[in-house]
Each structure stands twice: as structure tokens, then as C-alpha cells.
């Protein structure tokens, strides 16, 4: 005769802890702090992750008095003119993650802005932010991460030099930039997506009105000029401007790559434009799309760094 063991039911009380860093009623889950690896080092709840909608970043990219910089696609920093600074990550679900203890160092009105974009924890903190802050792992950046960081550094140098921001990452562009990676295949659809994404991040994001005002103040005439040409003409007012044309070339190639892949043109016209693009990138005619993509990403990053050097005393 067999014995039947009685079932055992274990009920764990969910933690409802609130940590004494701020009186602003942020949503967070104390279980994250207690059970996610590496967060309990300080023992006081400082490293409790607090989650936000990705749109929370838009204020810091567009409003005066703030700077939004990216070390990579999933690790960034917000800085204010009052020298408040806070790091953040982007998790696999597109949520922005910050530490509760860091948030508490911000002015209370700033905390309430964050509260307006606060969401429940999804318990996912895997990102380069987590790797760097908790595991002290700083992996070699991907070419795409390197490019985004170079763009950030150039725009910061331009802001310091001109006293104005030359480009923004608007809502759509933020989403594209933070998810952008090398295409998995060279299908027509992936080629079009890559060309469109590169153009949105590096060309369409230019603030043509702000650049036009700066150009007018420098004695130039922005009328009839598109964003790239306005930027080139403005930068040509700087010492060492003879290098500007070559440095700007990858940005113009980025625009042309989108035209070749997404505009409704004849096959012959698109092919001719792609031949022109490969030539300007120093590639052989009819080079595979992956070669074009890799060369363009690399040359865009180098262009931003060259432009940054011209703007840095």
C-alpha cells in the first residue's frame, strides 16, 4: 500500500517596504532590491530600481537647462545646469531605469516630473547601465554605440561653442536610436529600415531653425538651404573650415542612401546613386549593402569626432 504525502503550501508575503530616501511616492518593488543580483550591497535600498516610460527622456533632450548624453544605446546620463546629474539605463522592454537613491538627490520638483512618467516595475534591469554600475563590466562598444556617443560628444561641443543645441532626438528618433543595430540580413526591407533609421537619427534630427538663426548671426544667409547645408555653412565660419566639406561628406551620404533606398525612382537611377555612394565611401562599385553600412557607420563616427575637434578649444 503506497503512502500519499500531504501537500505543503508555502506562501511568501510580498515585500511592501518603502525606503526613506524621498517623500515623493514613486512606484517601485522592494522585491527587486531584495532579490535581483548585486543590488543589496549598501543594505539601505539605495539601489532599488525605479522604472519610467521612455518618453521621460524627451524633456531632458529638448528643454533648456538640461543635457542628455549617451555612453551607449542603453546607458546614459542626465545633467542639469545646476550640476545635478543622474545615470539611467534602458532595459529590453524599452523602460528607463534609475536608482531610487540617485533620484532622491534631485530637486523635489524634478522628482515630481519623474513621478509623472513612473510605471510599475517589470523586474528587468539587464542593460549596459546595470553591467557598468553593478558588475563593473564595460564592454567594447558596438559601432552603433560608438556612433551614438560620437554624435552626443559633437552636439555637446557645439552647444558649448554656439550656446545652442543643433539637433534633438524627438520621440520617434529616441526610439529608433535606442533600438538601432546592424541589420541581421541584407533584405530589401532591412536595407530600407537601416537607411531610414540612419537618416532620421543623423539628418532629420537637425534643428534647422536653430542652425539658421546661428548662421544669420554669423553673417550667412540660410534661405533656401536644407538642414545639412545650413550646418555645413555654419561650420565653415570656424577656423580650419577647409576640412568641413570632407568631414560633412558622410552626413550627405546618409541622406543619399535613404533617397536611393526609399524614394520612388527607376531601378537605373537607384543603382547609379548607390554607385555614387559607394565611390564616395571609398568602396568598389556594387559593394554589398553590409559593406556600405559598415563603412558609413564608421565614417559618420569619425566625422563627428573631427567636427568636435574643430569646436573644442
Quote the pLDDT of residue 205: 92
Angle between helices 208-217 and 227-235 (to 10 degrees): 30
Quote the pLDDT of residue 204: 93
Quote the pLDDT of residue 136: 72
Burial category of 139 from C-beta neighbours within 10 Å (exposed 0-12, middle 13-18, buried 19 and up): exposed
pLDDT in tens, 56-99: 888 887 777 888 877 777 788 898 877 788 999 988 888 999 99
Quote the pLDDT of residue 119: 96
CB 129 within 8 A of CB 75: yes
Quote the pLDDT of residue 135: 74
Quote the pLDDT of residue 15: 52
Supply the DSSP symbol for 96. E
Place of cell 552626443: 152
Given CA atoms 116, 119, 120, 125 in this order, what sign does their dihedral have? negative
Stretch (H or E) spanning 102: helix 100-103
CA dihedral 197, 56, 65, 198 (to 10 degrees): 0
Helical H runs in 134-239? 143-162, 171-179, 188-199, 208-217, 227-235
Residue of 281, 272, 236 whose CA lies nearest to 254: 281
Cα separation of 278 and 281, whole Å?
Answer: 5
Give the chain's residues under pLDDT 70.
1-16, 41-43, 137-140, 178-179, 184, 263-268
Strand order in the sheet with 75-80: 66-72, 75-80, 85-90, 96-99, 49-52, 118-119
Quote the pLDDT of residue 312: 87
CB 159 within 8 A of CB 165: yes
The beta-strand segments (E) located in the chain are 49-52, 66-72, 75-80, 85-90, 96-99, 118-119
Please, which residues bridge with residue 118 across strands? 52
Return the SS3 of 18.
coil
Cβ atoms < 10 Å from Cβ of 64: 7
Q: How far is CA 26 from CA 35, 103, 198, in A?
A: 19, 10, 36
CB 76 within 8 A of CB 177: no
pTM of the model: 0.65
Burial category of 95 from C-beta neighbours within 10 Å (exposed 0-12, middle 13-18, buried 19 and up): buried
Quote the pLDDT of residue 268: 62
Quote the pLDDT of residue 7: 53
Cβ atoms < 10 Å from Cβ of 35: 12
Amino acid at each position: 500500500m503506497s503512502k500519499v504525502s500531504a501537500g505543503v503550501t508555502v506562501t511568501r508575503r510580498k515585500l511592501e517596504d518603502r525606503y526613506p530616501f524621498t517623500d515623493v511616492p514613486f512606484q517601485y518593488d522592494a522585491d527587486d532590491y531584495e532579490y535581483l543580483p548585486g543590488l543589496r550591497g549598501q543594505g539601505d535600498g539605495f539601489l532599488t530600481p525605479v522604472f519610467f516610460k521612455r518618453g521621460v527622456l524627451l524633456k531632458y533632450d529638448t528643454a533648456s537647462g538640461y543635457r542628455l548624453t549617451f555612453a551607449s544605446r542603453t546607458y546614459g546620463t542626465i545633467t542639469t545646469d545646476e550640476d545635478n546629474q543622474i545615470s539611467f539605463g534602458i532595459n529590453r522592454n524599452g523602460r528607463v531605469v534609475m536608482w531610487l537613491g540617485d533620484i532622491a538627490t534631485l530637486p523635489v520638483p524634478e522628482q515630481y516630473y519623474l513621478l509623472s512618467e513612473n510605471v510599475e516595475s517589470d523586474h528587468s534591469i539587464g542593460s549596459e547601465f546595470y553591467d557598468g554600475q553593478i558588475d563593473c563590466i564595460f564592454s567594447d562598444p558596438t559601432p552603433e554605440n560608438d556612433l551614438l556617443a560620437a554624435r552626443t560628444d559633437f552636439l555637446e561641443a557645439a552647444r558649448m561653442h554656439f550656446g545652442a543645441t543643433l539637433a534633438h532626438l524627438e520621440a520617434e528618433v529616441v526610439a529608433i536610436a535606442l533600438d538601432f543595430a546592424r541589420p541581421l540580413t541584407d533584405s530589401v526591407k532591412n536595407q530600407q529600415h537601416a537607411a531610414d533609421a540612419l537618416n532620421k537619427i543623423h539628418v532629420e534630427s537637425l534643428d534647422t531653425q536653430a542652425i539658421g538663426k546661428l548662421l544669420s548671426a554669423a553673417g550667412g544667409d540660410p534661405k533656401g538651404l536644407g538642414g545639412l547645408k545650413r550646418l555645413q555653412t555654419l561650420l565653415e565660419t570656424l577656423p580650419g573650415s577647409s576640412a568641413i566639406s570632407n568631414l560633412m561628406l558622410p552626413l550627405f551620404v546618409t541622406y543619399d542612401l535613404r533617397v536611393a533606398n526609399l524614394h520612388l525612382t527607376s531601378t537605373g537611377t537607384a543603382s547609379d546613386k548607390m554607385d555614387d555612394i559607394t565611390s564616395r565611401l571609398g568602396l568598389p562599385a556594387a559593394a554589398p549593402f553590409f559593406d556600405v553600412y559598415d563603412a558609413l557607420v564608421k565614417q559618420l563616427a569619425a566625422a563627428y569626432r573631427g567636427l568636435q575637434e574643430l569646436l573644442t578649444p
